[in-house]
Amino acid sequence: MSYVPAPTLRRLDHRRSVSARRSRTAWFFLAPSLITLALFMVWPMVQSLYFSFTDYNRIQAARWVGLDNYAELLGDSNVWNALGNTALYTAVVTPVTVALALAAALYLNNAMAFRGFTRTALFLPFVVSLGIIGIAFSFLMDPNIGLVSHWLSKIGIVSEQGFLSDPKLAMGTVMVVGVWKNVGFYMVMYLAGLQSIPEELHEASRLDGANTFQRFRNVTWPLLSNQTMLICILAATASLQAFDQIFVMTHGGPYFKTETLVMLIYRSGFSELRLGYGAAISWVLMLLVFALSMIQVGYFRKKAVTY
Amino acid sequence: MSVRTEIVETGTTRSPQLVPSTPQALRARRLERVWRWLLGIGGAFVGLLVIFPMVWMLIAAFTPESEIVAFPPTVFPSSLTIDHFVDIWDAIPFAKLYGNTIVFAGTVTVVSLLLDTMAGYALARFEFRGRNVVFVLILAFLMVPFQVTLIPLYDVLGAMGLASTLPGMIIPRMTNAFGIFFMRQYFLSLPRDLEEAARIDGASEMRIFARIMAPLAKPAMLTLGLFHFQYNWNDLLWPLVMSSGLESATLPAGLAMFMGQHVVEYGLLMAGSVLALLPVVVFFLLIQRSFVAGIATTGMK
């Protein structure tokens, strides 16, 4: 035991009280958020998992049915149809959106007239309601009075029953709206990425005699791979949850051709009141989104590009 | 080269020495200016194409119903009317929808912004036991799709007597894992000197947060505020589930229901849609500069 002078003791004491005070403050700042998340996110998730093992229908008390819902789900053509539609939607919308966003960012990264206007115009769809703009798109594609379907008919693209009632064209139409909505947002993320690439790197490769394409291929594209990864995951996650424009424009039709997983969750849980079964389907969606996130986590842990 | 061209461009001097001396240099400069205009016109054309559905909405909202249903459809009507903007208030409880949406999106934005900022600040700036656990939990919550909680959430709120009410719609959105993460990343990027100085001066932690750190985080809060506001103003699924009818719905849910229930009157719907989109578009145009900067600086890299 060594002698500790009084002032040091007081300082130690003071430091401990400061750290205790700061710890208390931290929990005080966190508490409202943590309580809200626990009550309205964690608890409903636990409930959802529980529901998925019951036949709960809101009218009678839930009865435990074990894995019945999941067994039914595996043989349910509605589920496979929705899964297929969601996969198709995601497989088309994600790469198209990301490619267009990158193209728009590369284009708008040059000095040009009207650049501010064009950027704002491309971004604007991101802030408007997909459900509400879906109404306008339905109007534009109306077989009788729709302006766009009228224009398309003039160049030989005709649909007798209308694009949104045509089993072959309905999915394509809601995909276009889905792409339209998000390109601008990812473009802004890409622009931020482009502007963070040091100018010296471009300069150096220009001096080495690289042409525009080579500079893109060997400098820009590799240095954007963090953005590309993040944007692909965000776009794919959003696509897996496609709902709004589909609800408004086709309601899952014609003949369930545009019924996505979320549309099916909504139908099972809120139209047919099969809450247990709907919850089981929602866990399929949960697994898909979780798998995507794991890919992202793995990527950023291993080979995130730093410069 | 840059000095010379600038002076020539502003046209303040015609001194022969300051004009690019060779015809080649002159031609290159003129070519570059033409190129900028060509690029710009191409871009602006695509931009117009992208906003066409919104422009069309605006035009159709002022088009008389007789012309809307006429064949062949035309872009510009021969006459304009404001009837749709007058009638929409009686065709559906539009004022009620509007009020609901303002209360829902407005309250969620303000409350969530406050709670997200507080939680993000605590995670970025305080050392305490359990911090890493909390942070990992927040990261895990980022991966949860909202739809997985949807079905039980309705029942949880029902048990609290809040099903199909506006508070019930608002309360689960009072905080947000993404918002907490976003604010944490921003606070991490701020220098520590100011708060240390204030702490030495004896300021309380509350005061440091409210007077120093929160104001410093304003750019990030504006960005997050627009995220929250547009997300909730525009959301369809949650208000659809939580509203028992048009009276308790928000604008997107209400307009979607109205479209589903009636013989579609597009003029009315377009007028309603224009009014519904206006606040978010205006909000965005007002803060777009700091919004874009916020995306560029905060955790998106």
CB A50 within 8 A of CB B233: no
Supply the mean pLDDT for chain A.
89
Q: Report domain extents, chain B.
A: 2-61, 84-297
Beta carbons of B134 and A37 less than 8 Å apart: no
B180 CB burial (10 A radius; 0-12, 13-18, 19+): buried
Query: What SS3 string covers B167-226?
Result: HHHHHHHCCCHHHHHHHHHHHHCCCCHHHHHHHHCCCCHHHHHHHHHHHHCHHHHHHHHH
Of A22 and A224, which is predicted with more confidence?
A: A224
According to the model, what pLDDT value does residue A305 have?
62
Would you say the C-alpha torsion B162, B119, B136, B294 has a positive or negative sign? positive
Query: Omega before A198 cis (within 30°)?
Result: no
Of the candidates B227, B221, B226, B232, the residue with the CA atom closest to the CA atom of residue B114: B221
As a whole number of Å, the end-to-end CA separation of chain B is 35
According to the model, what pLDDT value does residue A14 have?
64
CB A175 within 8 A of CB A246: no
Beta carbons of A247 and B129 less than 8 Å apart: no
pTM of the full structure = 0.88
A193 touches chain B (CB under 8 A): yes
State which H helix or E strand residue A134 sits in: helix A130-140
Of the candidates B120, B185, B76, the residue with the CA atom closest to the CA atom of residue A33: B120
According to the model, what pLDDT value does residue B177 have?
94
According to the model, what pLDDT value does residue B5 have?
36
Would you say the C-alpha torsion A248, A250, A252, A258 has a positive or negative sign? negative
According to the model, what pLDDT value does residue B12 have?
42
Angle CA(B212)–CA(B218)–CA(B223) in degrees, nearest 5? 155
- Tell me the CATH number for domain A68-302: 1.10.3720.10
Of the candidates A287, A232, A274, the residue with the CA atom closest to the CA atom of residue A78: A274
SS3 state of residue A50? helix
A36 touches chain B (CB under 8 A): yes
**What is the residue type of B106?**
G
Of A6 and A161, which is predicted with more confidence?
A: A161
* Maximal CA-CA distance, chain B: 85
Mean pLDDT of A65-89: 94
Q: What is the ipTM metric for this complex?
A: 0.87
CB B161 within 8 A of CB B234: no
A287 CB burial (10 A radius; 0-12, 13-18, 19+): exposed
According to the model, what pLDDT value does residue B2 have?
36
Q: Name the pLDDT band for A157 (thresholds 50, 70, 90).
A: confident
- Report residue A203 as tokens: 């300069």
Mark which residues 49-68 of A lie under 8 Å from B by CB: 51, 58
Q: How far is B14 from chain A (nearest CA, A)?
A: 26
Mean pLDDT of A270-289: 93
Q: Name the pLDDT band for A7 (thresholds 50, 70, 90).
A: low
> Is A276 a residue whose pLDDT tops 60?
yes
Q: Report domain extents, chain A.
A: 1-51, 68-302
Mean pLDDT of A197-221: 87
According to the model, what pLDDT value does residue A1 have?
45
Best mutation target among A27, A28, A55, A132 (most B Cβ atoms within 10 Å) is: A132
- The CA R_g of chain A, rounded to the nearest whole Å, is 26
Mean pLDDT of A3-8: 53
CATH class label, B84-297: mainly alpha
According to the model, what pLDDT value does residue A11 have?
60
According to the model, what pLDDT value does residue A19 have?
78
A122 touches chain B (CB under 8 A): yes
Mean pLDDT of A234-257: 92
CB B294 within 8 A of CB B223: yes
Among A118, A132, A230, beta carbon nearest to B277: A132
Establish how many alpha carbons lie within 13 A of residue A137's alpha carbon, considering only the half-sphere containing its beta carbon.
Answer: 29
Report the range of poorest mean pLDDT among A116-125, A284-293, B70-79.
Answer: B70-79
CA A121 to the chain's CA centroid: 21
Residue B229 vs residues A127, A190, A207, B178, B190: alpha-carbon distances, Å: 9, 23, 47, 14, 25
According to the model, what pLDDT value does residue A47 have?
93
Instruction: Enumerate the residues of chain A whose CB falls inside 8 A of the CB of residue B296.
Output: 188, 191-192, 195-196
Of the candidates B151, B103, B143, the residue with the CA atom closest to the CA atom of residue A292: B143
Buried b / exposed e across A129-167, counting CB within 10 Å, b at 16+?
bbbbbbbbbbbbbbbebbbbbbeeeeeeeebeebbbbbe
Q: Name the pLDDT band for A81 (thresholds 50, 70, 90).
A: very high
According to the model, what pLDDT value does residue B13 have?
42
CB B171 within 8 A of CB B111: no
- Residues (pLDDT < 70) of chain B are 1-21, 262-263, 296-301
> Is A109 a residue whose pLDDT tops 60?
yes
Of the candidates A132, A169, A166, the residue with the CA atom closest to the CA atom of residue A247: A132
Of the candidates B119, B295, B138, the residue with the CA atom closest to the CA atom of residue B220: B295
According to the model, what pLDDT value does residue B273 have?
95
A300 touches chain B (CB under 8 A): no
CB pairs A-B closer than 8 Å: 292
A304 touches chain B (CB under 8 A): no
Residue B38 vs residues A110, B22, B44: alpha-carbon distances, Å: 12, 25, 10
Alpha helices in B62-165 (DSSP H): 65-68, 83-91, 94-125, 131-142, 147-159
- Closest-CA residue of B relative to A261 is B147
Site of tokens 């953005």: A227
According to the model, what pLDDT value does residue A243 have?
95
Beta carbons of A128 and B54 less than 8 Å apart: yes
Report the range of poorest mean pLDDT among A196-210, A212-226, B2-16, B62-76.
Answer: B2-16
The size of chain B, in residues, is 301
According to the model, what pLDDT value does residue B263 have?
66
pLDDT digits (tens, 9 = 90+) for B23-64: 888 888 899 899 999 999 999 999 999 999 999 999 999 999
According to the model, what pLDDT value does residue B110 have?
97
- Report residue A3 as tokens: 């002698």
Instruction: Enumerate the residues of chain A whose CB falls inside 8 A of the CB of residue B43.
Output: 107-108, 112, 114-115, 118
Beta carbons of A121 and B36 less than 8 Å apart: no
**Rounded CA gap, A222 and A217, in Å?**
7
Beta carbons of A192 and B70 less than 8 Å apart: no
Of the candidates B96, B75, B66, the residue with the CA atom closest to the CA atom of residue B266: B66
